[in-house]
Structure 1
Amino acid sequence: MEKVKFEIEVPVHASPNMLYQYISSPSNLQEWFADKVNSRGKVFSFIWEDTEELAELVIKKSGERVRWKWIESKEDDSFFEIKIQVDPLTNDVSLIITDFADDEDEVEEAKQLWENQIDELKNTIGA
């Protein structure tokens, strides 16, 4: 089944350098993204309550973006990415989230989940 790609942009009042720490390091991801985050090399373990999901780190550009590929989704082109974007005119900072939903019906729910996670990040860093 073909997954549905979606993207959301969320403004965040924080420095790109601080944001990068919160999207790239397991200990900081654990503060807002998942209950527990571990990494062994390029494989990250994300734990929510009793569920563990494994993802491979496929892109890590310092200060810019982090992309993971869920291990269980090896057969498709899906991934999830958190990218920091700075507007060249206003210097406004946003996070661009790219992710995939299983079907069109799940896109809105997935976007809402990401927005809730980003709100949690904002609370964590005081943005």
Structure 2
Amino acid sequence: MEVKIKYELEFQINSSPQLLYQYISTPSGLSEWFADNVNSRGEFFTFIWNDSEEKARVASKKSGEKIKFRWIDENDVDTDYFFELRILEDEITKDVSLMVIDYAEEDEVAEATLLWENQISDLKHVIGSV
């Protein structure tokens, strides 16, 4: 398996940090824009896309600010990879943006970036931040 590289993306979102946090940290919020369906049992989340299912564990979170999901393998063992969604708010302008930290194989970063752009577009549509 190829080693994945870390990349970061930032998206401007017209929303309050509190509302945005609900959409990035709860199964119901995530299933509206990130995956077809999301289930959780405690700190374990299952993300479902079509016939594909991936599991992750909440590695860390700070209410209203960020959540980090670490991918786990079929034996429920943490992998080296995670994705983190971090809400940034400019102290002066109060502009809100969402920082995405994720991993992809080097030759797939452009494709992964495009996927995130589409998903964030869906998120903006869902929360009325067009």
- TM-score bucket of the superposed structures, by smaller chain: over 0.9
User: After the TM superposition, which parts of structure 1 deviate over 6 Å for at least 4 consecutive aligned residues?
Assistant: none
- The separation in 2 between residues aligned to 1:37 and 1:75, in whole angstroms, is 20
- The separation in 2 between residues aligned to 1:125 and 1:42, in whole angstroms, is 25
TM-score, normalised to structure 1, is 0.94
1:74 CA displacement = 3.0
Q: SS of 1:31's equivalent? A: coil
- In the TM superposition, 1:1-127 aligns within 5 A as 1-72=2-73, 74-76=78-80, 78-101=81-104, 103-127=105-129
Structure 2, unpaired ranges of 5+ = none
CA RMSD of aligned residues (A): 1.1
1:90 CA displacement = 1.1
Are the counterparts in 1 of residues 27 and 38 from structure 2 also a CA contact under 8 Å? yes
- The separation in 2 between residues aligned to 1:81 and 1:4, in whole angstroms, is 14
TM-score, normalised to structure 2, is 0.92
Q: CA distance change for structure 1 residues 63 and 75 in 2, over 3 Å: closer, same or farther?
A: closer
Are the counterparts in 1 of residues 70 and 79 from structure 2 also a CA contact under 8 Å? no
Larger helix fraction of residues: 1
Q: CA distance change for structure 1 residues 117 and 75 in 2, over 3 Å: closer, same or farther?
A: closer
Larger strand fraction of residues: 2
- The separation in 1 between residues aligned to 2:39 and 2:62, in whole angstroms, is 19
Structure 1, unpaired ranges of 5+ = none
Amino acid of the structure 1 residue aligned with 2:15: A
Q: Count residues with an aligned counterpart.
A: 125
